Structure 1
């Protein structure tokens, strides 16, 4: 008695991936990176080099970058922007995380109403509160000062809301164990909550830093002297001075470097934040 041969096992065909999405993303990426390449090329080109898009420079030099630090108060503008951004990041993350912890772990009357009031402030544009804020800062003699520049931007409702979502997903067993061990509220917040929400803190640090570093409207209003300007306001004033196009592009290139460094250092936490927010249980 003969047995029928076993049918040959065929490998499942892999679905063909369309090249159209990859091609579209490549084209979009080129359009996105092209302005940055133009800025770098003009910043590193000699003064007598032809400007884009006529031709690319034949040689590169750092003379424009070193020369821009001698224009006006450029080093002071850079310092003001760094203080404005760095101090705001630290204070906003600390106060927002403390507020989020209280809104999740504390039981008090009006907690939900307070949360919705904080969320409702996201619907109010900054331009609507610009004049009242400036009047308050002016009456406290905060015009042309760093603290007058920083203080009105420290209440960040978006940071409170995002951190609250992370704190709410923390298991209750951690807080019960900390309470059994005799840990107080501050110790629980510092040693348990902050390490566990580090991905969202790093993500917010990137966005808050970029927002303050690129902010133009509020620094333009409160910084009315050359010494009180930030880098964004100072770059806008370079057009009125006898500064070449290569010099302006050099200043723009220098202002871009801190943003790139911050993103490179903290970008892995963005992926961790997305992963931890998508995995429950």
Structure 2
């Protein structure tokens, strides 16, 4: 009987340990609560502009008065219907999709190829070429926009989709990150593939690319978001309204005195693709950032 009771009831030493843990847990909770409140406050401040954008887009034809507009009593999707039924906004959305997707694909392709060459190949001038490219990162983008505009204009690329796309296909930052990541891939994997008779392209396609999926997903997210939100170069290189991307088109809507609810509805629509990209690539995005930091 005593053995049974001792198995059911904890001994005094176990009770003492549990009592000692409680003050420690309370102190730990007291330390984390202020941090959680601070993070919650930052999250609310960050999300407030998006909330205001959505709320205003749901109040077409009504005067916008703050702060009453932030707490609507009636909701209408008329602004979204007008946005999707207009002629220009769907065209601008398609242009933004082409510009972002094509640029992202080619940036990843060229960056991974260049990163593989600089990380694993031996050729004369490799280090010099690499550091010259890295030094180009120190040059502000706005200083190169005028020579870029003149060059594309001389080639006849102004006001064309290819003229807007071509200057964005090579990305030195992406190449640098790919080189640093590929440098950590063991050389034994490449040597084993060569012994099995694999060529350079087979090694690149079957070994390098699968090993770099996390960093590729991270770069894809960054590059897509950067091109989807790009404003300066698409505005300079495209003069026709039909060739505008969504960011430039929304700016022209403000100049044409389009209702604010319609502009906010278009902004909400432009946000959806970037949100979906982050949701689908979030797992690879976090893993890629962590692995890049450790390397």
Q: Please tell me the TM-score bracket, short chain as reference.
A: over 0.9
2:282 aligned residue? 267
**Where does residue 124 of structure 1 map in the other structure?**
139
Is 2:116–2:204's contact at 8 Å kept on the other side of the alignment?
yes
Conserved 8 A contact 1:93-1:205: yes
Tell me the distance in 1 between the aligned counterparts of 2:66 and 2:244: 30
CA shift digits 1:18-56 (9 cap, x unpaired):
122111111111000000001111112242365442232
Structure having the larger proportion of residues in helix = 2
Mapped to 2, the partners of 1:140 and 1:274 lie a distance apart of 38
- Unpaired runs of at least 5, structure 1: 1-5
Q: Is the 8 A contact 1:46 1:59 kept in 2?
A: no
Q: Give the Cα separation in 1 of the matches to 2:110 and 2:92.
A: 27
Pairs within 5 Å for 1:192-231? 192-231=207-246
Q: 1:172: how far off?
A: 1.5
Matched, 1:163 2:178: yes
Task: Map 1:31-180; keep pairs closer than 5 Å.
Answer: 31-48=45-62, 50-55=64-69, 56-71=71-86, 73-180=88-195
> How many pairs were matched up?
275
2:28 matched to 1:16?
Answer: yes
Is contact 1:133–1:152 with CA below 8 Å preserved after alignment? yes
Instruction: Note the alpha carbon deviations across 1:210-266, whole angstroms, 9 max, x for none.
Output: 101111110110001111111111000101214111011001111101100111110
C-alpha separation in 2, matches of 1:60 and 1:7 = 63
User: Which range moves more in the overlay, 30-39 or 111-120?
Assistant: 111-120
Structure 1 residue 63 displacement after superposition: 1.5
Q: Given the two structures, how large is their TM-score scaled by the length of structure 1?
A: 0.92
Alpha-carbon distance in 1 for matches of 2:65, 2:265: 14
Following the alignment from structure 1 to structure 2, what is the Cα–Cα distance between the partners of residues 186 and 102?
Answer: 11
Runs of 4+ with deviation above 6 angstroms: none
Aligned equivalents of 2:244, 2:96: Cα separation in 1? 8
Instruction: Tell me, yes or no, if structure 1 residue 254 matches structure 2 residue 269.
Output: yes
Tell whether the 8 Å contact from 1:101 to 1:189 is kept in structure 2 after alignment: yes
Ranges in structure 2 where 5+ consecutive residues have no aligned partner: 1-10
Contact (CA 8 Å) 2:164, 2:233: kept in 1 or not? yes
Q: Could you tell me the TM-score, scaled by structure 2's length?
A: 0.88
Tell me, yes or no, if the aligned pair for 1:88 and 1:154 is still in contact at 8 Å: yes
RMSD between aligned residues: 1.8
Which deviates more from structure 2 when the two are superposed, residues 83-92 or residues 171-180?
171-180
Q: CA deviation at 1:71?
A: 3.9
